[in-house]
Structure 1
Amino acid sequence: MAESANTFELPERLTLAEAEPTLARLADALARHAGPVVTISTEALQVFDSSALAVLLELRRRLVAQGRALKVNGWPPRLKELAALYGIQELLAA
């Protein structure tokens, strides 16, 4: 999971088994990032389920509680379809 000054990446695989450790790693990284907007790239995702959306929603919830915003880039088409299916695309700006 790479990170730059403002952008953090989801891993290639993000299913239920990887959700908790991925969230923990990202939450730790975000705690050290002071910017008002945090960008998460989903481009690397190859194998995923709805857990990827759950991780993004939890990150968004934590950031909003801190007065910060989440921006998601690089949506794989299937992830974008899942966000639309669950009616959360507006929350994640999908």
Structure 2
Amino acid sequence: MAGKADARIHLEGDRLFVEGSVTYGNTVEVIRAGKESIKASDVLVDLAGVAQVDSSAVSMLLEWTRTAQVHGRKIEFVNLPGNLADLIELYDVGNMVPVRCPEKSVC
């Protein structure tokens, strides 16, 4: 998917890759693009390719988590950019976002 502000999503196996920017200008489109994969099967969302975020990216994580729950699917997020992790902490929603800690890391 190519969209506003250079956001891309693609699925490889059970891993959903998000790349580019996830900001107010494209968050609705990014959420919509990822939902079908999340509804269809368990996914691991890899955010290593995300270059820029704002607070709307937190809403994406929360919406995708709700979508997975409603459809009885498992979802986990990996490789969160530091600024997105900071926003999750700032808004105190860490307990609502299933983040898989990297190996050899203390979370």
Query: TM-score band (shorter)?
Result: 0.7 to 0.9
- Which residue type is aligned with residue 56 of structure 1? L
The answer as to 2:28 corresponding to 1:23 is no
* Equivalent residue, structure 2, for 1:67: 72
What is the distance in 2 between the residues matched to 1:78 and 1:20? 20
Contact 1:70 1:92 (C-alpha < 8 Å) held by counterparts: no
What CA distance in whole angstroms lies between the structure 1 residues aligned with 2:56 and 2:75? 17
* Runs of 5+ consecutive residues of structure 1 not aligned to the other structure: none
Corresponding residue number in structure 2 for 1:45: 50
How many residues are treated as equivalent by the alignment?
A: 91
- 1:20 positional shift: 0.9
Which residue identity lines up with residue 19 of structure 1 in the other structure?
T
User: Residue deviations 1:34-59, cap 9 Å, x none?
Assistant: 3xx32111111111101111111101
The code of the aligned residue for 1:68 comes to R
Structure having the higher Rg: 2
- Larger RCO of the pair (alpha carbons < 8 Å, separation 6+): 1
TM-score, normalising length: structure 1: 0.86
SS in 2 for 1:23: helix
Q: Whose strand fraction is larger, Structure 1's or Structure 2's?
A: 2
The percentage of aligned residue pairs carrying the same residue is 19
Runs (5+) with no aligned partner, structure 2? 1-8, 100-107
Q: Who is 2:84 aligned against?
A: 79
After superposition, the Cα gap between the structure-2 partners of 1:48 and 1:9, relative to the gap in structure 1 and judged at 3 Å, is same
TM-score, normalized by length of structure 2? 0.77
